[in-house]
A and B are shown apart, each in its own frame.
Chain A
Amino acid sequence: MRLRVEDVEVELNSRRILKGVTLEVRKGEIVALLGPNGSGKSTILRTIFGILKPVRGVIYLNGDVLNSTDVEDAAKIMGYLPQEHSETNLSVADVVLLGRTPYISINPEKEDYRIAWEALKLVGMEEFAERKFSELSGGEKQKVMLARIFCQETDFMLLDEPTAHLDIKSQIEVLEMIKRITERGKAALVAMHDINLALNFCDRVLMVKNGKIIHAGKPGEIISQETIRDVFGVKAEILKDNGRIFVVPVGIE
């Protein structure tokens, strides 16, 4: 499992929104995309999945060029979790089952129900199966969404701010689930806002600004007052404790 994005450029309304993005995600890794609002994190994820078409550059998955013109094919090799979703009164079980859509011709079959049930158990939400999705809390909804991704059974996950709007406990629960899954030989590219969560849960960090990746590396290697100022435009203290790194913003540059 290896995803490689090479020198990808994307335009929207003739404005270049990704400029020469190159990145790599390997088996077993969780890689974070960190950057301010509008920096291009979501655009990178959407381009890899094939919703946006690059005007330049190539995306490889396991050495093969990813011809991302067809979302039906893309959904069989990549699990993409968009940031926003509409409210629905579908049951939790039905929402999870939607992850089986790429394999369903008309309606889900027994095997699809079994896989969806396993995914629900994996996120600890099996007791909620019959509940309406719209009645769940933010954290519960996000776990259900993860179960939906898991039951797509893809090796590679693209997650757009899976911890946004969640309380601290739910944030950690969600990230630990992602970690458990990637440890089984999968990989994830995750757009995140919370720098400290990203530093402590992800193997590598890609720092994005103005549609470019300007710093990339392991958390311990690239996080410094300078790189935080470069990317976010804030003054920050960097604390280190037992190999863990914490960024404490103290003011605006």
Chain B
Amino acid sequence: MLSKRPMFLMLGIGGIVSFVLSVSIGSSDVGLWELMKILSGDYGTNIESIFDYRLRRTILATLVGVSLSSSGCAMQSLFRNPLADPYILGVSSGASVGAAVAILTGHGTSPEIIAAAFISSLMAVYAVYSLGKKSTYFLLLAGIAMATFLSGVTSFLIYISGESLRQVLFWIMGGFWTANWTKVKVVLVTAVMGTAVMIFNSWKLNAILLGDEHAMSVGVDVKKLRRVIISTTAFLTAGAVSVSGVIGFVGIIIPHTARLVFGEDNRILIPASILLSAAFMPAVDVVARVSAPGEIPVGIITSLLGAPFFIYLLRRKRYEAQG
């Protein structure tokens, strides 16, 4: 564990650099120099509001990244599958339907959309879990069925959305540009509570790596652990998705990259994933902000990065299988 310390330190520094970059880069030319001025107390209100926006946006991005990656990490250990993703439980599709319904029924304010997305995503997970709790296999199938059904519902809602089309679409694509302090507070609660539960259970998640029966043989109540991890994942991802829309692949890329570097021990892997996502997510959000006039939804960027990475993983897995 000692030899991992320098790497943890690097991740920590990466997180700080990413945070500072994210606060100092944006479409307006207010940058690091002005940030220094703010810190020294010499600034105008216009500059202050720009930094206030960037600050909440950066914190939001960090917390969403932390939520998705820590739950992805736990899901991958629980299912003993590096391709598991926190969204396989139907969270994202559930949230999309909730948000779309809220917007279309004229409840398009930020707290209303957050509440609708949060509740509908938890309902979707509950339905998936009830249908598939018999086994991992059933759970995955139920998740796929639910996601397909709900994405049909979402497509229908988009189709009839008329003037709200842009708002619905932008919400689903996922991004942080609508960051406000309410959103930060919501995801702060879910992220802190959820990651604490994951870290608390990291040793038990190690036990499950050898198989369900092995975990039982060392005294882990596997059914209970599965319930705890799945409900915590639902809580974490519902929090993240309800404030930022559907940001794809972060829940796979980050834990898997951390796994390649730090190994499978969840006591190290979960904190490493948290730090890595804290470095990664604000940095990607900077790319989203500056890569095009206006901006590109960050969900598009993570998907564009994530899909090739996913293919890389699949190929690697095949080579391993071939020995």
Which residues of chain A are near B207, meaning CB under 8 Å?
Answer: 98, 101
Are A101 and B267 within 8 A (Cβ)? no
Q: Nearest chain A CB to B108's CB is how many angstroms away?
A: 44
Are A90 and B213 within 8 A (Cβ)? no
Minimum CB distance partner of B219 in chain A: A75
Are B264 and A72 within 8 A (Cβ)? no
Are A98 and B206 within 8 A (Cβ)? yes
Are B200 and A98 within 8 A (Cβ)? no
Which residues of chain B are near A107, meaning CB under 8 Å?
Answer: 202-203, 267
Are A106 and B200 within 8 A (Cβ)? yes
Residues 69-121 (chain A) with a chain B CB within 8 angstroms:
70-76, 79-82, 84-86, 88-91, 94-95, 98-99, 101-102, 104, 106-108
Are A89 and B211 within 8 A (Cβ)? no
Q: Nearest chain A CB to B223's CB is how many angstroms away?
A: 10
Q: Nearest chain B CB to A41's CB is how many angstroms away?
A: 15
Q: Nearest chain B CB to A51's CB is how many angstroms away?
A: 6
Residue A49 CB within 8 A of the other chain: yes
Which residues of chain B are near A39, meaning CB under 8 Å?
Answer: none
**If A86-B209, A86-B211 touch, does A94 touch B217 (CB 8 Å cutoff)?**
no
Which residues of chain B are near A108, meaning CB under 8 Å?
Answer: 203
Residue B52 CB within 8 A of the other chain: no
Residue B48 CB within 8 A of the other chain: no
**If A85-B210, A90-B263 touch, does A80 touch B217 (CB 8 Å cutoff)?**
yes
Q: Nearest chain B CB to A46's CB is how many angstroms away?
A: 8
Are B217 and A106 within 8 A (Cβ)? no
Which residues of chain B are near A101, meaning CB under 8 Å?
Answer: 203-204, 207, 218-220
Are B210 and A88 within 8 A (Cβ)? yes
Which residues of chain B are near A94, meaning CB under 8 Å?
Answer: 206, 265
Q: Nearest chain A CB to B70's CB is how many angstroms away?
A: 16
Which residues of chain B are near A74, meaning CB under 8 Å?
Answer: 219
Are B214 and A89 within 8 A (Cβ)? no
Residue A152 CB within 8 A of the other chain: yes
Are B206 and A51 within 8 A (Cβ)? no
Which residues of chain B are near A75, meaning CB under 8 Å?
Answer: 216-219
**If A85-B210, A99-B218, A101-B220 touch, does A90 touch B204 (CB 8 Å cutoff)?**
no
Give Cα A89–Cα B217 distance, bound, in whole angstroms.
19
B219 touches which one: A72, A82, A91 (CB < 8 A)? Answer: A72
Are A88 and B209 within 8 A (Cβ)? yes
Which residues of chain B are near A71, meaning CB under 8 Å?
Answer: 216-217, 219-221
Which residues of chain A are near B216, meaning CB under 8 Å?
Answer: 49, 51, 71, 75, 80
Give Cα A63–Cα B16 distance, bound, in whole angstroms.
61
Minimum CB distance partner of A134 in chain B: B264
Are A76 and B210 within 8 A (Cβ)? no
Q: How large is the interface on B (under 10, 10 to 19, 20 to 34, 35 or more residues)?
A: 20 to 34
Q: Nearest chain A CB to B274's CB is how many angstroms away?
A: 17
Q: Nearest chain B CB to A90's CB is how many angstroms away?
A: 5
Residue B80 CB within 8 A of the other chain: yes
Give Cα A167–Cα B213 distance, bound, in whole angstroms.
25
Which residues of chain A are near B209, meaning CB under 8 Å?
Answer: 86, 88, 90
**If A71-B220, A102-B218, A108-B203 touch, does A90 touch B264 (CB 8 Å cutoff)?**
yes
Q: Nearest chain B CB to A250's CB is how many angstroms away?
A: 37
Give Cα A85–Cα B210 distance, bound, in whole angstroms.
5
Minimum CB distance partner of B204 in chain A: A101
Minimum CB distance partner of B199 in chain A: A106
Give Cα A79–Cα B209 distance, bound, in whole angstroms.
18
Which residues of chain B are near A49, meaning CB under 8 Å?
Answer: 216-217
Which residues of chain B are near A99, meaning CB under 8 Å?
Answer: 218
Minimum CB distance partner of B77 in chain A: A88
Give Cα A81–Cα B217 distance, bound, in whole angstroms.
7
Which residues of chain A are near B267, meaning CB under 8 Å?
Answer: 107
Which residues of chain A are near B80, meaning CB under 8 Å?
Answer: 86
Give Cα A76–Cα B220 distance, bound, in whole angstroms.
11
Which residues of chain A are near B213, meaning CB under 8 Å?
Answer: 51, 82, 84
Are B221 and A104 within 8 A (Cβ)? no
Give Cα A241–Cα B29 distance, bound, in whole angstroms.
93
B221 touches which one: A72, A88, A91 (CB < 8 A)? Answer: A72
Are A89 and B218 within 8 A (Cβ)? no
- Could you give, for residues 221-233 of chain B, a 1 whenever the CB lies within 8 Å of some chain A CB and a 0 otherwise? 1000000000000
Selected A-B contacts with CB under 8 Å, 5 pairs: A84-B213, A89-B264, A90-B263, A98-B206, A101-B207
Apart from A71-B216, A76-B219, A82-B217: 13 A-B pairs, beta carbons within 8 A: A49-B217, A70-B221, A71-B219, A74-B219, A79-B217, A84-B213, A86-B209, A89-B263, A90-B206, A98-B218, A101-B218, A104-B203, A107-B202
Q: Which 7 A-B pairs have the closest CB atoms?
A: A75-B219, A102-B219, A101-B218, A82-B213, A80-B217, A88-B209, A72-B219
Which residues of A are interface residues toward B (Cβ below 8 A)?
Answer: 49, 51, 70-76, 79-82, 84-86, 88-91, 94-95, 98-99, 101-102, 104, 106-108, 132, 148, 152
